[in-house]
Structure 1
Amino acid sequence: MYMCEPKQAPGGRESGGTRRLKPAQLLFEPPEAVADPEHFFDLESIEDPRELLARSTELALAFRAAADRATEYQAVAAAQLADPRRFDRLPTAVIAERAEWSEDYAKKMVEFGRGLLRDGSAVE
């Protein structure tokens, strides 16, 4: 399984786990499109390779941006859950388990989230 480092620039590292996570359902595709395993944002219907390259590149960039944004939300949530001022705070090990991270990665995400919150650049 690949995980992004907790930073705004995309990056990855391999984790020791072999379990693959099921991707989140893409809510903006119609249900009938999700039922067809060959369907992917109508790319399969594009015959012109120039148009296919342009559209698939657009999607790849959008998904990267979405993944970066989702990682920031994860980090903020982890920082909030680990906040010592919360009466219901969670230990890093529990946060790691819930997010299916290693404990070291969870610690990095908590620190990343604290930085986002401190700098005021937290996702809104």
Structure 2
Amino acid sequence: MSQPRPASDRRAEAPAPRRRRPASLIFEPPEAVADPEHFFDLESMEDPHELLRRSTELALAFRVAADRATEYQAMAAAQLADPRRFDRMPLPALAEQADWSEDYAQKMIEFGRGLLRDGGTHIGDAD
């Protein structure tokens, strides 16, 4: 599924880019997060076949998770921008909160409206 992408010049517009901490992954033990070299025990694997299998498995899982998260972002953006809401969020505020350009925010709103119209049926369809 092709997703809208942020405008490449968005970073040039911003006075100072915000640094976001990556979300912690709930299945990594806390001691693993404290060690910057630790990544799902991949660093301790010696068999390259097993390393390739496991790292590929993780990469695919992260792609699916990223696609699902993007769909949820789009649905939330569509809901927040809904003109029927008394607390509708203006496009510039929505774009700023999500760290998107306004053009990208508009595309995400449209994408989200489509998902909501379809009942969110795209979520989880990658299986």
When normalised by structure 1's length, the TM-score is 0.85
Deviation sequence 1:83-112 (CA, Å, 0-9, x none): 011100101111000000000000000000
CA contact (8 A) 1:79 1:111 kept: yes
Listed as ranges, the matches of 1:48-87 within 5 Å are: 48-87=47-86
State the match for 1:44 in structure 2.
43
Structure 2: 5+ residue stretches without partners: none
Compared with structure 1, are the counterparts of its residues 73 and 40 closer, same or farther at alpha carbon in structure 2 (3 Å cutoff)?
Answer: same
Choose which of 15, 19, 24 in structure 1 pairs with 2:8.
15
When normalised by structure 2's length, the TM-score is 0.83
Q: CA deviation at 1:32?
A: 0.3
2: distance between equivalents of 1:39 and 1:14? 33
CA RMSD of aligned residues (A): 2.0
Structure 1: 5+ residue stretches without partners: 1-7
User: Which one-letter code corresponds to 1:31 in the other structure?
Assistant: P
Q: Percent identity?
A: 72
Aligned residues: 117
Which one has more relative contact order, counting CA pairs under 8 Å at least 6 apart?
Answer: 2
2: distance between equivalents of 1:112 and 1:61? 23
1: distance between equivalents of 2:26 and 2:56? 20
2: distance between equivalents of 1:51 and 1:11? 34
2: distance between equivalents of 1:55 and 1:66? 16
Compared with structure 1, are the counterparts of its residues 33 and 62 closer, same or farther at alpha carbon in structure 2 (3 Å cutoff)?
Answer: same
